Chain A
Amino acid sequence: MTTFIIRRLGGLVFVIFGVSLLTFFLAQLVPADPVAAALGSNARNEQVEAYRQQLGLDQPVVTQYAIYMGRMLQGDLGASIRTRRAVADDLRDYLPATIELTLAALFVTILIGIPLGILAALNRNTWIDGGARILALIGGAMPIFYVGLVLLGVFYRQLQWLPGPGRLDSTVQPPTNITGLYTVDALLTGNWLVFGNAVSHLILPAITLGLFSTAVLLRMTRSSMLEMLGQDYVRTAKAKGLAQRLVVGRHVFKNALPPILTIIGILFGSLLSGAVLTETIFNWPGIGRYATTSVTTLDYPAVMGVALVAAVIYPLVNTLVDIGYSVIDPRVRTH
């Protein structure tokens, strides 16, 4: 068990190293001069040179990378050219918004995907199954930026049932910062008004972001359930007169669960990544939007920071899922 965990974490360190190398290489690719872009066209040559030295851009590439790595290991991701703040500080501000949105989308995914997948499998080849499969097909093929725009247009602009872009109404003060997740912080401080407002702001972006993963989870749950329903022990359980509810709950779903859990772990990672489009549409102050603005302004220290953090979270979540998985099912450790 311990060696399994150590091996996975060792792989993680390697991946982080690789990701930093890749982003660093990308930053070198940029043809435009970020320094000139940051200082504007009126900057004098010596100003540009001084800023360049300050950023270490006058050093050879290898030295630059060594400096970058050395700082990174101390948690220093450099300074953003655009915001002139430490990238780590920027990320600390933006990351909680993305995590909150991702968790909300995952909640939507699980809430809809698993029950519908089970229903579809239990009612195979009926209209329920057909409907669920069409939903999965549409969810997997719909451009989510269109879905987001339509939801905003209908439920915010037209019907005014739900609030518009942003994490809170402009009249509402954010809760005391504890975790950075507004809903959690509002709950912790017992601030129900803020909690309700934060939740209502989460609904539309969470549905938008969660649509694709709902489709994936629905399909996965359906096929995993179908596979288990065809097993001999299910027939035995039915034959001995066990109620359908118990057969499904106690036998089928439990055994269908491992692949479903794995896919949820993978989906969490892809949701973090997919948040870019959703955050743009809903003006959500998360790392996706931070990355978009940073790329637009060629602020590559910031882009590298986002990439690094995202690239750590994704394998970290998958590693955690794998470890959890190996606790539930010891057979996977040998693979």
Chain B
Amino acid sequence: MQATASAAPIPTRRVLSPNALMLRRFTKEKTAVFGLLVILLFALLAVFAPLLAPFDPLAQDIPNGLAPPSAEHWMGTDKLGRDIFSRMLYGARISLGAGLGVVIMAGLVGTLVGIVAGYVGGWLDEALMRVTDIFFAFPSLILAMAIAGALGPSLQNALIAVAVVTWPVYARLIRGQVLVLRDREFVLAARSVGASHGLILRRHLFPNTLSPLLVQASFEMGTVILAVAGLSFIGFGAQPPTPEWGVMISEGRNYITTHWWLTFFPAMAMLFAVAGFNLVGDGLRDVLDPRLRR
């Protein structure tokens, strides 16, 4: 009974792996792809800043100060004659680096706390979650300011401050994930064949928390970039003459209507970088959690 075997070939569809499927879904989200391109552009600018920058970001040329954008200085110069384009490029290094550093620091601590709280449960979970309550109750910028002030104003201390303020976000998120996962069949199966707690955590629970973690991290990048720049703006973060975007806006604040380019370009850089991360976060969330798709 193989009469139909030689008939018209059955149209085959290439079977995609889950990852390839997600990638394909992500690339269909136009705004998310745009966001990703913006981030990649900033990342390239940041990495190759020393090669791309036409001038030393700290080199002063006072006679040529406050020059409007021109062929030589694409984004003009500030009051000390420093090239704004070069400073903006180096600023990308600082802001992206700061974002990455804080997200990694806070993400590691938060994930660890969240996994332990969710997996162990009981009084430990209760205690850890009450601690996150306390951090959530705090107005984050005031706490970050108080920490940065106590440690002494510097970029590094601002990063520590923002990390201290943001880790509970990850802890809550991961705990919630682990609570759901911990009683799922595949975890019970692993436990029934005698897998150790360490193995279950590493092999089964942690990998399954990665996608929400990634979504959160993407949003946090934007938040952190704004927070660090805000701290620098009021004097508790990077200090002049560091070419940090918040510092650049602070230095140009008295020239906002007369020499707009001093503050406009760093502000736009921040707007695009943060919007890029937010768009990618939106796209990732839609792809990884189709239930939230709207």
Contacts and interface: CB of A to CB of B under 8 A. Distances in A.
Interface of A: 11, 14-15, 18-19, 22-23, 26-27, 29-31, 137-138, 140-146, 149-150, 152-154, 157-158, 223, 226-227, 269-270, 272-274, 276-277, 280, 288, 291-292, 295-296, 298, 300, 303, 306-307, 310-312, 314-315
B229 interface: yes
A295 B257 contact: no
Interface in B121-154: 130-131, 133-134, 137-143, 145-152
Contact of B138 (A19, A142, A153, A227): A19
B263 interface: yes
Nearest to B256: A153
A145 B249 contact: yes
A160 B21 CA distance: 56
Contacts of B174: none
B180 interface: no
B274 A314 contact: no
A141 B145 contact: no
Interface in B222-243: 222, 226, 229-230, 233-236
B166 interface: no
Contact of B234 (A157, A277, A303): A277
Given A14-B130, A277-B233, A307 B138 contact: yes
9 contacts: A23-B146, A140-B274, A140-B275, A141-B272, A143-B267, A149-B249, A276-B142, A291-B142, A300-B146
Given A15-B134, A158-B257, A310-B138, A140 B235 contact: no
Contacts of A30: 149-150
B149 A269 contact: no
A149 B253 contact: yes
A26 B139 contact: no
Given A11-B133, A298-B149, A269 B270 contact: no
Contacts of A315: 133, 137
* A interface, over-half SS: helix
Contacts of B272: 141
Contacts of A142: 267, 270-271, 274
Given A146-B263, A311-B139, A22 B230 contact: no
A328 B184 CA distance: 34
Contacts of B253: 149
Given A26-B146, A143-B229, A226-B294, A153 B134 contact: no
Nearest to A310: B139
A22 B138 contact: yes
A18 B141 contact: no
B274 A141 contact: yes
B133 A137 contact: no
B278 interface: yes
B84 to A, nearest CB: 14
B143 to A, nearest CB: 7
Contacts, number: 142
Contacts of B246: 143, 145
B279 interface: yes
Contact of B267 (A146, A157, A306, A314): A146
B133 to A, nearest CB: 5
A228 B59 CA distance: 58
A137 B279 contact: yes
Contacts of B149: 30, 295-296, 298, 303
Contacts of B130: 14-15, 18
Contact of A18 (B133, B245, B271, B278): B133
Interface string B145-179: 11111111000000000000000000000000000
Nearest to A226: B294
B234 A292 contact: yes
Contacts of B148: 295
A276 B274 contact: no
B135 to A, nearest CB: 8
Contacts of A291: 142, 145-146
Contacts of A158: 257
A269 B279 CA distance: 25
Given A15-B137, A269-B139, A315-B137, A276 B234 contact: yes
Given A273-B140, A295-B236, 19 more contacts: A22-B138, A26-B150, A141-B226, A141-B274, A141-B275, A143-B229, A143-B245, A143-B249, A144-B230, A146-B267, A150-B256, A154-B257, A158-B257, A277-B233, A288-B142, A291-B142, A307-B139, A315-B133, A315-B137
Contact of B263 (A149, A157, A226, A310): A149
Nearest to B143: A307
Contacts of B234: 276-277, 280, 292
Contact of A314 (B139, B141, B279): B139
Contacts of A141: 222, 226, 270-272, 274-275, 278
B257 A157 contact: yes
Contacts of A280: 234
Contact of B133 (A15, A295, A298, A303): A15
A288 B204 CA distance: 45
Given A145-B249, A273-B142, A307-B143, A22 B257 contact: no
Contacts of A157: 257
A314 B137 contact: yes
Given A143-B267, A227-B294, A276 B275 contact: no
B139 A272 contact: yes
Nearest to A297: B149
A138 B275 CA distance: 7
A295 B263 contact: no
A290 B164 CA distance: 22
Nearest to A31: B152
Contacts of B229: 143
